[in-house]
Every structure is written in structure tokens, then in C-alpha cells.
Amino acid sequence: MDKLLIFDNVSCNDYGTSALENLSFDIECGENVVVFGPEHSGEHLLCPLIAGFIDIIRGDILYNNVSLKNMDYTDRLKHKQKIGYLHHTYGLISNMSVEQNISLPLQYHSKMSRAEITEYVNHLMVKLNLEKCKNLRPFNLSRAEILKTAYARATVFDPDLLMIEHAFEGQSLIQLLTLFDVLREREKQKEKSILFITFEPQNFIRIAHKFIMFFGNEIVFSGGPDEFLNSDNPYLWQYRNMSQEGPMLFP
């Protein structure tokens, strides 16, 4: 299977401090990967690195076999448009309606007519059960509606890679059934991949192909769903059992 994303011995700085050293892993086309670990274990740097918000000091990141390190400003802008990024703050514009928030990227970065945008966005809202609140602003939405609106906006260009960074935390899972159905539909497209960054990896056991655990700015576990559930890896065991006993020490 082809590699969609490759981290090749990547080292980076986080506000002047060496945060990741010689990190290597990959995501195959069509693979859903869950990355987890205690807060600030290094997992929080992955999405900003992939999106080009943090500079690579050593090594490289390859997306569809194209080096991020060698991209100029224009190339980085084009690269960002190819990736869906749904982060924990959701980033909706407060004075715009649901429909306007979803439409905005298409208005600026597509050649679609106004009528085509309206038709396409209406289709997305129906799919996500958002049509009843299409004219509401974020202030009037539930948390689940905010998340689904941000998801629709992040996927308007149908990206090959969708990055979901802590966006499901604090959400009622029963309210997210519609969104999980949409994610499973996406899973059927063999070239589409999802990168989940989360503190709650168990919520994605039915959709993930690989789990990667970070601690101390390095990978301490990597494996499939069965290994995630059954491995006696001491870091994973401590995390699964929410135990103070184990190799991870906290103040």
C-alpha cells in the first residue's frame, strides 16, 4: 500500500525548546491512525508540523512523496488546502451562520459558482443533520452542532488526509452517531486517511487501523486494535488502566 504521510527522522523546536527528536512513522493511504498519550507528550506537535505551522529542524515530512521542508510560501498554502484540519477550538467565525462558515473556504479557494456552492453545502448539512440550524450562529449551537459544522468546513475539499485534533473530547458520544456514520463512509474510500489526536483512544477502536502512543516526546507503543486492547506494554497498560504505577511519572 502507498504511503500518504512519512515522518523521516523529524526533529523540531517548540517555542525554542527541542521537542521532538528523530521521530519516524508513516500513514498509509486509506489508513486511520490514532495518536494518544498524556498531555504534552509530543503528540500535540504532529498536526502543526503536518500543516506547516512549525518548522522542521532535521529530517523531513513527505506528503504524497512531496517534501514539506523544501516548500516555499506558495507551496505551503497549496499544501494546507489539501489537508483537512479539525482542531479542538473548532475555529468557527462567530458572526457567520452555519451555512456561511462551511461555504467560506469554497468562496475563496474554489472555482465553483455561488449556486454550486449553495447546492454542495446544503448536501453536506443534510448529511450531518445540520439543515435545521443552517442560519444559526455558533453562539446558538450545541457542542455537537459546532463540531459537525467545523467537520463540514474541514472536509469541503474532500482531502486525502483529515486531521482531527482533540475535537471529540468533551462531546456526548451518542450525539455524535451521525458524524461517526459519516466517518465510516469516508473509510470506504481506500485513498482517504484520518489522523486522530486524542486523550481517549478507546473511542475509536471500531474505526482505527493503528494506534500510536507518545510519552516524553517519543513513541512508546505502536500497534493495531487487538494489540491496543491486549498488549502488556507497560506504558499502554498504565494509560489504559489510569494507574499511577508504571514507567510514566507525574508530579
Domains of the chain: 1-82+159-251 (3.40.50.300), 95-158 (no CATH)
| pLDDT tens profile 101-131 | 999 999 999 999 999 999 999 999 999 999 9
Residue 12 exposed, middle or buried by CB count within 10 Å (0-12, 13-18, 19+): buried
Return the biggest CA–CA distance within the chain: 59
SS3 75: helix
What is the per-residue pLDDT across 186-243, written as a single tens digit (0 to 9) for each? 888 888 999 999 999 999 999 999 999 999 999 999 999 999 999 999 999 999 999 9
Closest CA to 91 of 14, 46, 149, 177: 149
Q: 151 near 183, Cβ under 8 Å? A: no
Query: Alpha helices of 128-195 — where are they, by DSSP H?
Result: 143-154, 177-187
User: What is the residue whose three cell numbers read 508504571?
Assistant: 246
- The predicted model scores a pTM of 0.94
Rounded Cα gap, residues 38 and 224, in angstroms: 20
| Residue 16 reports pLDDT greater than 90 | no
For 139-196, what is each residue's pLDDT tens digit?
999 999 999 999 999 999 999 999 999 999 988 888 888 898 999 888 888 889 999 9
- CA 158, CA 183: separation in Å to the nearest integer? 12
pLDDT at 251 over 80: no
